[in-house]
Amino acid sequence: MSTILSVSEITGLIKQTLESEFGDVSVVGEISNFKAHISGHWYFTLKDSNSQINCTMWRGLNSYVFFTPQDGMKIIANGKISVYQPRGSYQLDIRSMKPAGVGELQAAFEKLKQKLFEEGLFDEVHKKPIPRFPNKLGIVTAIDGAAFQDMKSIAARRYPLVELVIASSRVQGDGAAEEIAKSIKLLNNQNDIDVIVVGRGGGSLEDLWAFNEEIVARAIFDSRIPVISAVGHEIDFTIADFAADLRAATPSAAIELATPNRDDLLSYVSDFSYYNSQKIFEILRSYRDEVTSYITSYGFKMPQDFIKSKTQRLDSVLYKFSNFAESKISTGKARIELLESRIKAMSVDGVLKRGFSYIKQNESVVTRMKNFSSENSFSIKFYDGEIKIDGKEKRK
């Protein structure tokens, strides 16, 4: 009679058998239902035309994957089979993965390119102009890489006035895309960076893949500072190239696009100085000829006659003005004298002098007979004296 097992016991035996027999396997398949959980773990299904298997890749292990998995991508996953006892299901715990071929990376490249294109990240309307004379140039690359050394030497030769600010970052392998995006944001936090160069030297598609990641493309697009991409060689194109404000064929070419040439500037200053000095001499010669023509004119040949003529005209004007002023003064004086004589004739003394007199009573001049009182004293004022007369009551 066969042994009767509980569900937990049979599940445990299956778990022991599977995990011991399939402790290290490599599986090729197509990714489906990929989900990057908030915890950092990855969950997805690996399938082919006939079957599928659930897969997990824990946080920490997935940080070593140089690309971002996408639905439909064919990969080779290395790991072990494990059994989740509460549900009695098995899954593939992945330790590492890689694309099943270059074609898979190329397909992922085209898929992401189309997605970002449709969102408008590559539109020309968003491209920012590159300043002609930058003071500070930000560089995102590996500080110990040959590309950075080339950029330093070219900048020193072409435009030694520019200051290079390096935000060092890994440019390939696990976590490189995140570091590149972080370095771009770090440079954007400074207020004195004029342009940013993002790039690295040449390599295989896998080596350059960090610049094909969505996180890098969005960091470039969100940069308020103009960005020049300089990834690989002239034949290499990455998603970063399309998102950047300007693409350079190589890191060295990026420095040439970002800085003016010192020799060209010196040549321009020399030419400017020469041609403008010639122009100044021409202007001076023109004015010299004009001044010479004035000096040799009739007016400068006979200066005394010119001055005498103007003096005579001035004397004539002054004479006319003097006569006019004297006439006005005489007329005004006669008018004043006439008014003065009229005022004197109309004065009290003038009237009394002509034989008139006036009567005062109670310290007031009597101007009407009805105002005169024969009972009160009064006085009669003549030109040459005054007579005082007592009233009737006083005379009694």
Buried b (16+ CB within 10 A) or exposed e, 283-299: eeeeeeeeeeeeeeeee
What is the CATH topology of the domain spanning 7-100? Answer: OB fold (Dihydrolipoamide Acetyltransferase, E2P) (2.40.50)
Task: State pLDDT tens for residues 336-351.
Answer: 878 877 777 667 777 7
Task: State pLDDT tens for residues 139-182.
Answer: 999 999 899 999 999 999 999 999 999 999 999 887 899 999 99
**Is residue 34 a contact partner of residue 57, using CB atoms and an 8 Å limit?**
no
Confidence check: pLDDT of 374 > 60: yes
The rounded percent of the chain whose pLDDT value lies above 70 is 92
Confidence check: pLDDT of 132 > 60: yes
pLDDT category of residue 124 using cuts at 50, 70 and 90: very high
Span 377-388, average pLDDT: 83
Span 89-109, average pLDDT: 85
pLDDT category of residue 110 using cuts at 50, 70 and 90: confident
Looking at residue 202, what is its pLDDT? 85
Confidence check: pLDDT of 250 > 60: yes
| Residue type (1 letter), 74 | K
pLDDT category of residue 1 using cuts at 50, 70 and 90: very low
Comparing 277 with 334, which gets the higher pLDDT? 334
DSSP code string of 321-346: HHHHHHHHHHHHHHHHHHHHHHHHHT
Quick one: residue 376, left, alpha or beta (phi over 0 = left, psi -120 to 50 = alpha)? Answer: beta
Looking at residue 42, what is its pLDDT? 92
Which residues is 374 bridged to in the sheet? none
Task: State pLDDT tens for residues 190-216.
Answer: 999 999 999 998 888 888 889 999 999
Give whichever of 25-39, 264-278, 313-327 has the largest mean pLDDT. Answer: 25-39
Confidence check: pLDDT of 187 > 70: yes
**Is residue 28 a contact partner of residue 75, using CB atoms and an 8 Å limit?**
yes
Looking at residue 361, what is its pLDDT? 81
Task: State pLDDT tens for residues 272-296.
Answer: 666 777 778 788 888 777 777 777 7
Q: Which of 2.30.40.10, 3.30.460.90, 3.40.50.10550, 1.10.3720.10 would CATH assign to domain 109-262?
A: 3.40.50.10550
Comparing 136 with 88, which gets the higher pLDDT? 136
**Is residue 154 a contact partner of residue 252, using CB atoms and an 8 Å limit?**
yes
Looking at residue 303, what is its pLDDT? 65
- Cα torsion through 67, 72, 73, 79, rounded to 10: 90
Give the whole-angstrom CA distance, residue 125 versus residue 28: 43
- What SS3 state is found at 350? helix
Give the residue extent of every domain in the chain: 7-100, 109-262, 349-395
Looking at residue 199, what is its pLDDT? 92
